[in-house]
Structure 1
Amino acid sequence: MSASRRSPAQRRKRRLWRGILAGLASIAAVVAAGLPLYVFPPVSSPEPADVVFVIGPPDQWRLDWAQQLLAEGTAGALMISTPDPDAESLCAADEPNPVECARPDPFTTRGEARWLRSEMAARGWSRAIVITVTPHVSRTRVVFDRCIPSSVQVVGRSTGLNLAKWAYQYLYQTAGFIKVALNPGC
């Protein structure tokens, strides 16, 4: 049947299906484009560094991983970015390695990078390991590379991310990349 012979209801139904298919194709394209950025960013095993830096939020798995790196001798000091330094038990504990806790200003990835840059300069550190969640690795790397001329390794894990959290991370990290593009420099 030619397009002119279709009823208005058939034409609406056809347009609806085309819209649905276009929407699904767009979602698939966004998911595919995000795979190398958010799901499978290039990461390697942490190499020896002066400090391991847990950027916010300081989830327990991040803190555990940082303590493991300290115990293995991979790093000699710990920095924790937290909205409430007084609430973090590691910040108040008597630890064998130096622990610095603060709420960077601003409390953003850029603020965290500036704080690390300042601490590295003040302490003579040249290498750092930054721990974050996997979807944040690529954007963290871009921001920290802009702020710190020395070697910063960004590592991450996808602990506890279900489909809804992955969808949220895609949106959040994409918005973050737009912000990074609009605000060059450190």
Structure 2
Amino acid sequence: MSQSPPPAQRRRLARGLRMAGVLLVAGLAAWLVLAWTLFYDPPLGPAGRADAVVVLAGAAAERLPLGQDLVDDGVADELVLSSTGLPGNTATDAVCAEENPRITCFVPDPLTTRGEARAVAALARDNGWDDIVVVTSAYHVTRASVNLAQCSTADITMAGSRPDLGAPGWLARFVEESTALVASVVRPACARAV
């Protein structure tokens, strides 16, 4: 027959478990506040005149119209689109299939934000672009900005489209983007900005 711990030890164990629970809840709350700030409502500056408006791949139904609107509003003369052939990018890929001298399309290698950052840096360098507006979903702004800054010395202004996500969708994005942001800091997209 096992002996139960003495009352003093049980009280210490209960206090320790309560403290661990409080710390866990406080840590989760702090992460949610930080995730909200970085991924739901990231800081965005006004999109001034730029050399190009670049639309990153994925969520094309929300990102592409914002990029097109920025060009239509005179932010830049050139629209640059990331073309991937992936399901979430069909609207953008369809635009890339058309002949339009005001639209440049590129295929990132690899088909990731890191690959896009490298491709945008090369396009900026090759075309002499000093100012770029980059369009992506609000939840993706922070990570994309970090990757782009790691790869390019161009002045980059981020523009965030607003996805139609419910609470579970936003929570999933918070988890995904938090993990990917840490990876972006630990393993930069580029060794140095070009």
Normalising by structure 1, we get a TM-score of 0.82
In the other structure, the counterpart of 1:174 is 178
SS at match of 1:131: strand
Amino acid at match of 2:160: G
Instruction: Assess, with a 3 A threshold, how the Cα gap between structure 1 residues 185 and 61 changes in structure 2: closer, same or farther.
Output: closer
C-alpha deviations, 1:16-70, integer Å up to 9, x for none?
Answer: 7766555433321210222321222210221111111111205222111111111
Q: CA RMSD for the aligned pairs?
A: 2.8
Instruction: Give the share of equivalent positions with the same residue, in percent.
Output: 27
* Mean CA deviation greater in 43-52 or 81-90: 81-90
106, 119, 125: which one aligns with 1:121: 125
Cα offset for 1:151? 0.7
d(CA) in 1 for partners of 2:138 and 2:58?
A: 13
C-alpha deviations, 1:70-103, integer Å up to 9, x for none?
Answer: 11211111111132189522112243x5222232
SS at match of 2:134: strand
Structure 2: gaps spanning 5 or more residues: 1-5
d(CA) in 1 for partners of 2:127 and 2:12?
A: 70
Amino acid at match of 1:129: V
Amino acid at match of 2:134: V
Aligned residues: 182
In the other structure, the counterpart of 1:158 is 162
Structure 1: gaps spanning 5 or more residues: none
Normalising by structure 2, we get a TM-score of 0.79
d(CA) in 2 for partners of 1:157 and 1:105?
A: 24
d(CA) in 1 for partners of 2:188 and 2:69?
A: 34
In the other structure, the counterpart of 1:66 is 67
Residues 127, 152 of structure 1: 8 Å contact kept:
yes
| 1:80-91 matches, cutoff 5 A | 80-84=81-85, 87=90, 88-91=93-96
Amino acid at match of 2:83: T
Residues 57, 82 of structure 1: 8 Å contact kept:
no
| 1:1-186 matches, cutoff 5 A | 21-84=22-85, 87=90, 88-95=93-100, 97-184=101-188, 186=190
